[in-house]
Amino acid sequence: MERPTRFKVSVGGYLGRSFQVELAGPALIYREYGRGFQLVRQTEIMPTDSDWEIFLTKLESLGFWHWRPEYANPGIVDGTSWGVEIELPSRAKLTAGSNSYPGKRRGHRGEMTEEFRAFLDAVSKLVGGMPFF
């Protein structure tokens, strides 16, 4: 079972809540921010091999490794930005977006796609059910 050597996921915006999870050694550091990126909560989580396996399997089912490097919706200035950087011993992915998301309805009026919501849910489960947007 591969464990990430680099892992950073963030989602949110200045006018609302934002979340970040980042790998620090064997632990994940979970951060929740309020309006204006004010830190509300920071917690260290120790995912098990099983937690990582479930998460990485979900990435496969979502086609994560085929997501484009960038998703943008220039018609929306404020809103939700997100970024994902995952590096495994065998492969790596860097992808980000602003009010546009991977999935079947790419860029549809700035609404999150079903696939992207499933990705956020998988991150939440990886960090023990903590809120992640």
Domain boundaries, the chain: 6-126
SS3 66: helix
Q: What is the pLDDT of residues 23-66, one digit of tens each?
A: 999 999 999 999 989 999 999 999 999 999 999 999 999 999 99
What does the DSSP 8-state code read for residue 79?
Answer: S
10 pLDDT higher than 90: yes
User: What is the rounded CA–CA span in Å between residue 82 and residue 45?
Assistant: 21
Locate 44 and state its tokens. 């260290």
**What is the pTM assigned to this prediction?**
0.94
Is the domain defined by 6-126 classed in CATH 3.30.1560.10?
A: yes
Strand partners, 19: 11, 32
Mean of pLDDT over the chain:
94
Q: What is the pLDDT of residues 76-102, one digit of tens each?
A: 777 899 999 999 999 999 999 999 999
Residue 42 burial (CB count, 10 A): 11
- Which H or E element spans position 122? helix 114-126
107 pLDDT higher than 60: no
Q: Are strands 6-12 and 81-87 parallel, antiparallel or unpaired?
A: antiparallel
pLDDT at 111: 86
pLDDT at 105: 67
